[in-house]
Structure 1
Amino acid sequence: MTTAKQAKDIDAIMALYSDDICSYDAVGTLQINGARDYRAHWQRCMPEKDDVIIDMQSPVIRVSGHLGVARFLIRCGLCKDDGTEQASWMRASYHLEKKDGAWRIFHEHFSVPFDFENGAAQFGLHP
Structure 2
Amino acid sequence: MSDLSITDPQQDEAEIRRLMKEWSAALEAKDVDALTKDYDPNAVLFDACPPYKTIGVAGIKQVWQNCLPYFPETFKSEHRDVQVHVDGNTAFVYGVHHFVPTPADHPCGMTWMRISVGYRRIAGEWKVVHEHVSIPFNPMNGQAWYITDPDDLEMPDYSAEAGTEGTEK
**Same fold, TM exceeding 0.5?**
yes
In the alignment, residue 105 of structure 2 is paired with which amino acid?
T
Matched-pair identity in %: 26
Instruction: Say which one has the larger Rg.
Output: 2
In the alignment, residue 112 of structure 1 is paired with which amino acid?
I
1:46–1:52 CA contact under 8 A, matched in 2:
no
Pick the structure with more helix per residue. 2
Q: How many residues align?
A: 125
1:58–1:72 CA contact under 8 A, matched in 2:
yes
Which residue of 1 is the match for residue 132 of structure 2?
Answer: 109
Pick the structure with more strand per residue. 1
TM-score using structure 2 length? 0.67
Shift of 1:76: 3.3
| Residues 25 and 70 (structure 1), Cα distance of their counterparts in 2 relative to 1, 3 Å cut | same
- Inter-partner Cα distance in structure 1 for 2:84 and 2:52: 25
Which residue of 1 is the match for residue 105 of structure 2?
Answer: 84
Any stretches of 5+ residues in structure 2 without a counterpart? Answer: 1-22, 151-169
Query: What is the root-mean-square deviation in Å for CA atoms of aligned residues?
Result: 1.9
Is residue 2:57 matched to residue 1:35?
Answer: yes
TM-score using structure 1 length? 0.88
| Residues 25 and 49 (structure 1), Cα distance of their counterparts in 2 relative to 1, 3 Å cut | closer
The CA deviation string for residues 92-127 of structure 1, in whole angstroms up to 9 with x for no partner, is 000000011110111000110111222211125311
- Inter-partner Cα distance in structure 1 for 2:118 and 2:71: 32
Among residues 87, 90, 96, which one is paired with 1:67 in the alignment?
Answer: 90
Is residue 2:144 matched to residue 1:121?
Answer: yes
| Residues 96 and 121 (structure 1), Cα distance of their counterparts in 2 relative to 1, 3 Å cut | same
In the alignment, residue 38 of structure 1 is paired with which amino acid?
I
